[in-house]
Structure 1
Amino acid sequence: MTDEPVHEIVRRVGVRRVAELAGVSAATVSRALRAGTPVSDETRQRVRWAAASLGYRTPSRRLTVAVLARFPGRWFFAEAVAGVESVLSAAGHTMQLHNVGDPGARAHFFATLPVRGRVDGLIVVASGADAAERAALDALGVPIVVVGDTTSGWPRTGIDDRAGARAAVRHLVGLGHDGIALVSFDPDEACGRSTTRARYAGWADALAESGRTAGPVLEVGGDVGSGVAAAGELLTLPRLPTAVFAMADEAAVGLVRTLRRAGVDVPGQVSVVGFDDHEMAAVTDLTTIGQPVRRQGELAARSLLGALAGTPATDAELPTRLVVRGTTAPPPGVRERMG
């Protein structure tokens, strides 16, 4: 009589018995009892019937989840990835992080697909994919969840970027501003195109509904350096706009810093609103649209784990909020009339 626990004997012997009863290999049994693996429906049903007939239960195991992110070092991506990692590690699972922001690294990733056969699921963080890339990822046969992007067709966790941008510009309109400028992401950067389009549409919505005119659109990017470049362009104009909406807080911070160094009073002469509620926003007293980035990563990870357990992943949309701080105020003419 062996002293080994009975459940260990059932687990080891059960796989072979299930395979014999189902008429497949033991490896096929393992794949068929895991959600999202490339096994035909007929085979999966036959294996599950055999497992149920024998009273076999799949042992718990450590899962590996790949995370694709364009700029893992930037705040938004780092926060989202931290949310994913916190959920996976708490459940005893492992995360693989892949940087797909550099064009060369991205091309190599999709040419080689180093995650093939090595991961149980995939989370794509704010990194849109073209048709060929989506097909390559779908061919992996694992569940996929995205954070942010709206164009992939995969289950999504994110925010309403258009509504958030609209709220930002409505705030400026409500203060009395007209000719509101826009500091935009690069519209040719395909991986983030859906976010760029949505925030541009929100800016345009708020102007159209209020009857206000559009100010200059500066398509420079979303980091601090982009904000510096935007400020340089604005300072060459014959007349500064009284308000600017930046699609990212980092660009807004670079913009505000550069304008102030040039002697422009913010918000006395120019009001600025960002987007994200980046950790620098509170430090720099930046008015912004806050979004729960880490929470998005957490929900994406939970959705993926649910899919791996057999519950279909679904979309989840989180709210944004206007955070009013010290970089917005009525334009000079309105302040004077207000006394």
Structure 2
Amino acid sequence: MVSIDDVARHAGVSTATVSRALSGRGHVSGATKARVEAAALDLGYVVSSSASSLASGRTRNIGVLVPFLDRWFFSTVLSGVASGLMRRGYDITLYSLTADREQRRTIFETFLRRQRVDGVIAISLELGDEETQRLRELELPVIAIGGPNPRLTTLTVDDVAVARLATEHLIALGHRDIGHIGASPEFDIDFHIPTHRRRGFEQALGDAGIPVRPGLFEPADFTIEGGFRAAKQLLGKPGGRPTAIFAASDEMAIGAMLAARELGYRVPEDLSVVGIDGHELGEFFRLTTVDQFPLGQGERAADAIVDELESPGAEHQPGRLPYDLIVRGSTARLSS
């Protein structure tokens, strides 16, 4: 096995210089650093994580809490976190945090207290007061995506404003009979994102003087299949079908488009459809969406946690996450 002494001999420097060059701690000239890195690469030397941790007091490992692993949005945010941390030289430990109270308690009171992480990122999880307190007691940097949480540094999306933007786009195209596919109560957890998006939808209608019609709402489960079933209900109700549908996620919007086509309606000539997320399939389906850049959310959270670790004296402010309306071929002006 190649040792740090072997690298030092190969590079013609001291072992202390090799340590400084490969750890990034302490001053080493650019030329010397390059020579050491080349020697390490030639010999196949990798810095021992345990030795580095003992020397620095750091694990260079970030714990990430996520509610779902099988949903596109969460896996995409997680991918952004992983790539952002890797770029900064950090590993990741993943904790899937379900609604099970005992399992959550074990994660907060046991796993996170083993001092195997330097910080924690929580993805779209509404943490209770006790859970927030447990995180604060770790005395580690914590970044929460999807807040707000006044006791933690948070990166937030204004879900009311996102939904207003999507709905206002349909209204601007002349639509008045607009259906909404939201979520059933069991999916309205962790910051109540579906509730906020429904509120934004109804606010946009109210501002335009359009009455809210309860019959034009259908709950679903934020999947393509769920959106398909909900859209069939909306389009099959007596008393006039909607001319447009705002779905609270792109996957449900794609399901709505498939349902419309199965029922013989053309998109967008007979039915306009808009979603939220920026799903990778959106371009294929020519779906109009409000992109909330989930990959970028993860990368920004990774940068924020590392910045807090590497610049502990600096002031780190929470921030609003960006979003943008992307108009494609699933929406069109209402034909007279």
TM-score interval, smaller chain: 0.7 to 0.9
Report the TM-score when normalising by structure 1. Answer: 0.75
Q: Give the equivalent residue in structure 1 for 2:255.
A: 254
SS of corresponding position for 1:280: coil
Change (3 A) 1:272 1:6: closer
Structure 1 unaligned blocks of 5 or more: 11-57
Q: Quote the residue 2:49 is aligned against.
A: none
Task: Measure how far apart 1:65 and its partner are.
Answer: 0.6
- Show the 5 A alignment for 1:43-122: 59=56, 61-101=58-98, 103-104=99-100, 107-113=102-108, 114-116=111-113, 117-122=115-120
Alignment partner, residue 320 of structure 2:
317
Taking a change above 3 Å as real, the CA distance of residues 119 and 9 of structure 1, as seen in their structure-2 partners, is closer
Question: Does the CA contact (< 8 Å) of 1:63 and 1:94 recur in 2?
Answer: yes
Q: Distance in 1 between matches of 2:107 and 2:68?
A: 20
Deviation per residue, 1:285-319 (Å, 9 max, x gap): 11111122111111111111122230343212232
CA contact (8 A) 2:288 2:326 kept: yes
Mapped partners of 1:142, 1:186: distance in 2: 36
Q: C-alpha offsets along residues 208-234 of structure 1, whole Å, 9 cap, x if unaligned?
A: 111012242222221112202212321
CA apart distance, 1:279: 0.5
Question: Does the aligned pair in 2 maintain the 1:68–1:97 contact within 8 Å?
Answer: yes
TM-fit CA distance, 1:90: 1.8
Most deviating of 255-264 and 135-144: 135-144
Instruction: After TM superposition, list the pairs within 5 Å mapping 1:276-315 onto structure 2.
Output: 276-309=277-310, 310=312, 311-315=314-318
Conserved 8 A contact 2:217-2:234: no
Shift of 1:161: 2.0
| Contact 1:289–1:323 (CA under 8 A) maintained in structure 2 | yes
Deviation, structure 1 residue 84: 1.2
CA drift of 1:249 comes to 0.1
Once the 2 structures are TM-superposed, how far is the Cα of residue 76 of structure 1 from its aligned partner?
1.4
Q: Aligned partners of 2:317, 2:194: CA distance in 1, in Å?
A: 24
Counterparts in 2 of 1:182-193, with a 5 A limit? 182-189=180-187, 191-193=189-191
CA spacing shift, 1:9–1:89, aligned 2, 3 Å: closer
Identity of aligned residues (%): 31
Q: Distance in 2 between matches of 1:313 and 1:224?
A: 38
RMSD value, Cα: 2.5
Q: Contact 1:147 / 1:158 at 8 angstroms: preserved in 2?
A: yes
How far 1:170 sits from its partner (Å)?
0.7
- Look up the SS of the partner of 2:112 in the other structure: coil
Distance 1:172 1:8, change over 3 A: closer
CA distance in 1, matches of 2:129, 2:19: 47
Q: CA deviation at 1:60?
A: 8.0
1:28-62 Cα distance to aligned partner (Å, 9 max, x none): xxxxxxxxxxxxxxxxxxxxxxxxxxxxxx84854
Secondary structure of 1:283's counterpart equals coil
Shift of 1:82: 1.4
Deviation per CA, 1:122-147, whole angstroms, max 9, x where unpaired?
Answer: 10111212233323333333221111
The one-letter amino acid of 2:61's match is T
Map of 2:31 onto structure 1: none
Q: Deviations over 1:304-335 (max 9, x none)?
A: 1122230343212232111111111233xxx2
Change (3 A) 1:164 1:6: closer
CA distance in 2, matches of 1:154, 1:74: 25
More displaced 10-residue stretch of structure 1: 276-285 or 60-69: 60-69
Q: d(CA) in 1 for partners of 2:272 and 2:161?
A: 20
Tell me, yes or no, if the aligned pair for 1:145 and 1:156 is still in contact at 8 Å.
Answer: yes
Amino acid at match of 2:298: G
Structure 2 Cα separation of the partners of residues 8 and 224 of structure 1: 53
One-letter amino acid matched to 1:302: D
Question: Equivalent residue for 1:172?
Answer: 170
Aligned equivalent of 1:330, options 315, 319, 333: 333
Quote the residue 2:218 is aligned against. 218
Q: Which residue of 2 aligns with 1:45?
A: none
CA 1:5–1:329: 2 relative to 1, 3 Å: closer
For residue 198 of structure 1, what is the aligned residue in structure 2?
Answer: 196
SS for the counterpart of 1:193 is coil
Residue 233 of structure 1: aligned partner: 233
Within 2, Cα distance between the matches of 1:128 and 1:171?
30
Number of equivalent positions: 282
- Counterpart in the other structure of 2:143: 145
* Structure 2 runs not aligned, ≥5 long: 1-12, 21-54
Structure-2 change in CA distance of 1:217 and 1:152 (3 Å): farther
2:176 partner letter: D
Helix, strand or coil at the partner of 1:282: coil
